[in-house]
Amino acid sequence: MLQATMLHLPKFPTLLHLPSLNKENNLLQKMPKIIKSTSSIFSNEQSGKNPLLTTIFYSLDDLVSNFLDSPLPPSIDPRHLLSGNFAPVEELPPTACEVVEGSIPASLNGAYIRNGPNPQFFPRGPYHPFDGDGMLHSVTISGGRATFCSRYVRTYKFKTEAESGRAFFPSPFSSCHGGLATAARFLLTVARGAFGHFEPSENGFGTANTSLACFNGGLYALCESDLPYQIQLAEDGDIITLGRCDFGGGRDMTERMTAHPHADPDTGEVFAFKCNVFAPFLTFFTIDSEGRKGSDLVISSMKRMACVHDFGLTKRFIVFQDVQIEMDPTEVVRGRTPLVCHRDKVPRIGVLPREAADDGGLVWIETPGLNLLHITNAWEGDCGGRIVIVAPNFLAADRGFLDTSLMHSQFEMIELDINEKKVVSRYVLSRKNMEFGVINQAYAGKKNRYMYAAVIAEMPKAGGVVKTDLSKAAAEGGDCTVARRDFGEGCYGGEPYFVAREGAEEEDDGYLVTYVHKESSEESWFWVMDAKSPTLDIVARVRLPGRVPYGYHGLFVSEKHLKENSCD
C-alpha cells in the first residue's frame, strides 16, 4: 500500500516561534536548551551504548504520549486498529502445514509470499494502518507438501528499534497528530539523530511492508519511503534478509523507490520512480539487466508532490497519474497529516515514451473524477496513439487515507487518445468495492481479457474474489463479473495472485492463491482456487500453523527459480 515519505524536510525554526503553540505550552522553547545542555555530557559516547541517554529519550517519548497527545480517534488509535486479525504476530520458523481439503497441484511447486505491516512493538502513540514493520508470510510448496514461515524484513528501522527495545522511528501517516505532540516528536527525532541514536541519512527508515517484486534474479521487499531490501528463501522455507539495495544509485536517505516497479521480460530492464516532498516531485529511472540504476528523468511539469503509487508500462510508454491526493509538508506545522486531498484539482494522466531522455515528450490528459492508486494493466490499443488502462478508481480520495475503513474503489477501463490528448471512453467494470486487481503476468503490458480482484469488506479485508471479463465492458456500465468465490461467513482474505498452469495455452488456465482467515476461530488458511472455473472452485485448502494478519501485496515464485536463486 502507499508509503509517502517525509524525506527532504527542511529545517523548521518556525516551529519554535508559533504563538499558538507557545501559549499552550512552553515545552518547545525549553526542549532545544535541554538538547544543547545534554549534548556535551554525551558527546563522546554513542547513545545506543549509553543507558542514561536512552532513558532520557524514553522519558521524553512517554511525556509526549501521556501528556501532549490529544485523545486519539479510532482511525489512528492502535488499541482499535491493532485488534482481531490486525493484531501483530510473532515470527514463526519453517513449520509443516496440513492440507485439509483437496490437493496442491504440481504447477504450484514454489512459494507464495505476502507482505504486510506487523509492528515489532505496540505503538504508544498514534498509529496508521500503513505503519508497522514489514513481515513476510510464505508457503513453500514441493511435491504437494507445504511449509509455512513468518519473518520480519530486517530493515535498519527494525534492527535499530530491536536494539533499543522500543519503537521510535517517525511515520508520515501517524506522527503528525496534534500541534504540540507533532512538534515535540519532530524535535525528538532531530535530537536522536544529533546524538547518533539512529542515522537515517545513511541507512533509511523505511518499513519494507508494502509489496514484493522479482527482477534481475533478485527477490525484494519494498515500500515507498526507502530502497528495496533483498530477501532469499532458504531450502527449508526460511526467509532471509540479505540487505538494502541501491543498485549503484547511492544509499543516502534521498534514494528510495516505488513499491511497484515494472520489468520488461524481453529486455530485463526495470522501470521505477520515486516521489519527493520538494522539487523535483516525481522522478523516473531504470535499472538495467545487470542491476545498475540509470540516470534520473525528472517530471518537471509536476508542481506539487502527488501521491503516485503505481504506474502502467506498455511496449512503448510509461503511464502514470497526477492524482488529487498530495503531500503538503506545511500541514505538519498545523499539527495535521501532510496527506491532503485537493477537491478542486482535476486529475490527469501522463503518457511518457519509455525511451525518453527528458520529459519534453510527456503528454498530459485530464481525467475528471479519476484517482488511480494501482494500475492493474495498460496496453496500446489497436488504433494508433491509443492507450487502454484497467485500474480501480479511488472514490473516497478525501477520506480514505485518513481512515482506511472508508476506502472505496470501483474498477474502470479507460481508453486515451495521445494525439488528441483526450479520454476516448471510460467503462465501469463493476460497482462493487474492489481492489488488488491481478492478471496473468504473461499479459502484462499487453491486451488481456481476464482480471481477478478482491471484493473489499473493509480495507484491506476482502470477503471474496471475482473474475472479470474485460471484453464485456459496455458504455452503460454493466457488471463484467463472470465468476465469484465468497470466503464464507466471518472469513476474510486479501489480494489474490494468479499462477498459470504448466503448459497452459489459455489466458485464464491457472490458479488463484491467497490467505484466508476465520475470525471466530482465529485460524488462517492458504487457499488454491481454479481460475478457469465458473465458480472459482476450491482446489486445495491448507491449514496454517500460525495466524496471518491482513496485509497487502504478494507474489508466487516457482520452485525452479527458487533453486536457481532467480526470479527471471
* CA-derived radius of gyration, the chain: 24
Query: Do residues 499 and 555 lie in contact, with contact meaning Cβ atoms separated by under 8 Å?
Result: no
As beta bridge partners, residue 556 has 112
| Report field, pTM of the whole predicted structure over 0.85 | yes
pLDDT of residue 561: 86
Given this model, what pLDDT does residue 137 score?
98
pLDDT for 448 equals 97
Residue 5 has pLDDT above 80, yes or no: no
Q: What is the pLDDT of residue 400?
A: 59
Mapping DSSP to helix (H, G, I), strand (E, B) and coil, where does residue 518 land? strand
Question: pLDDT (tens digit, 9 = 90+) per residue, 211-230?
Answer: 999 998 899 999 999 999 99
Q: Which residue has the higher pLDDT, 309 or 49?
A: 309
Give the total residue count for the chain: 568
pLDDT at residue 190 greater than cutoff 70:
yes
How far apart, in Å, do the first and last CA atoms of the chain sit? 24
Average pLDDT, the chain: 87
pLDDT of residue 24: 36
Q: Which of 147-156, 165-174, 349-358, 480-489 has the lowest mean pLDDT?
A: 165-174
Alpha-carbon distance of 108 to 144, in angstroms, equals: 8
**What pLDDT score does 566 carry?**
61
What pLDDT, on the 0 to 100 scale, is given for residue 260? 97
> Does the pLDDT at position 120 exceed 90?
yes
> Which residue ranges are tagged as binding site?
260, 309, 374, 553
Q: How many CB atoms lie within 10 A of CB 346?
A: 12
399-415 average pLDDT score? 82
Checking if the pLDDT of 34 tops 60, the result is: no
| Beta strands 497-500; 510-518: pairing state | antiparallel
pLDDT at 6 over 50: no
Question: Mean pLDDT across the stretch 386-395?
Answer: 96
Lowest mean pLDDT: which of 43-52, 63-72, 110-119, 430-439?
A: 43-52
Note the pLDDT tens digit of each residue in 413-451. 999 999 999 999 999 999 999 999 999 999 999 999 999
Report the percent of the chain where pLDDT is more than 70.
86
Contact criterion met (CB below 8 Å) for 350 and 372: no
Euclidean distance between CA atoms 427 and 148, whole angstroms: 41
DSSP string covering 246-291? -TTS--STT----S--EE-TTT--EEEEEE-SSSS-EEEEEE-TTS
Binding-site residues for Fe cation sit at 260, 309, 374, 553
pLDDT exceeds cutoff 60 at 10: no
pLDDT in tens, 224-257: 999 999 999 999 999 999 999 999 877 654 688 9
Q: What is the pLDDT of residues 507-563, one digit of tens each?
A: 999 999 999 999 999 999 999 999 999 999 999 999 999 999 999 999 999 998 888
Instruction: Give mean pLDDT, residues 58-75.
Output: 84
Q: How confident is the model at residue 11 (pLDDT cuts 50, 70, 90)?
A: very low
Q: DSSP class of residue 71?
A: P
The predicted structure's pLDDT at residue 46: 41
pLDDT at 200 over 90: no
pLDDT in tens, 268-297: 899 999 999 889 999 999 999 889 999 999
Encode pLDDT of 354-364 as tens digits: 999 999 999 99
pLDDT at 549: 98
- Encode pLDDT of 312-344 as tens digits: 999 999 999 999 999 887 776 666 777 888 889
For residue range 152-176, what is the model confidence (pLDDT) as tens digits?
A: 999 999 999 999 888 888 887 776 6
What does residue 176 show for φ and ψ, rounded to 5 degrees? -100, 75
23: its cell numbers: 501559549
Q: Which is higher by pLDDT, 170 or 13?
A: 170
For residues 219 and 231, is the Cβ–Cβ distance under 8 A? yes
Q: CA 63 to CA 114: how far, in whole Å?
A: 37
Supply 310's cell numbers: 503505481
Q: How many other β-carbons are positioned within 10 Å of the β-carbon of residue 466?
A: 26
Percent of the chain at pLDDT > 90 equals: 64
pLDDT band at 3 (very low <50, low <70, confident <90, very high): very low
Residue 543 has what pLDDT?
Answer: 98
> pLDDT-based confidence at 178, cuts 50/70/90?
low
Contact assessment for residue 274 and residue 204, using Cβ atoms and an 8 Å cutoff: no
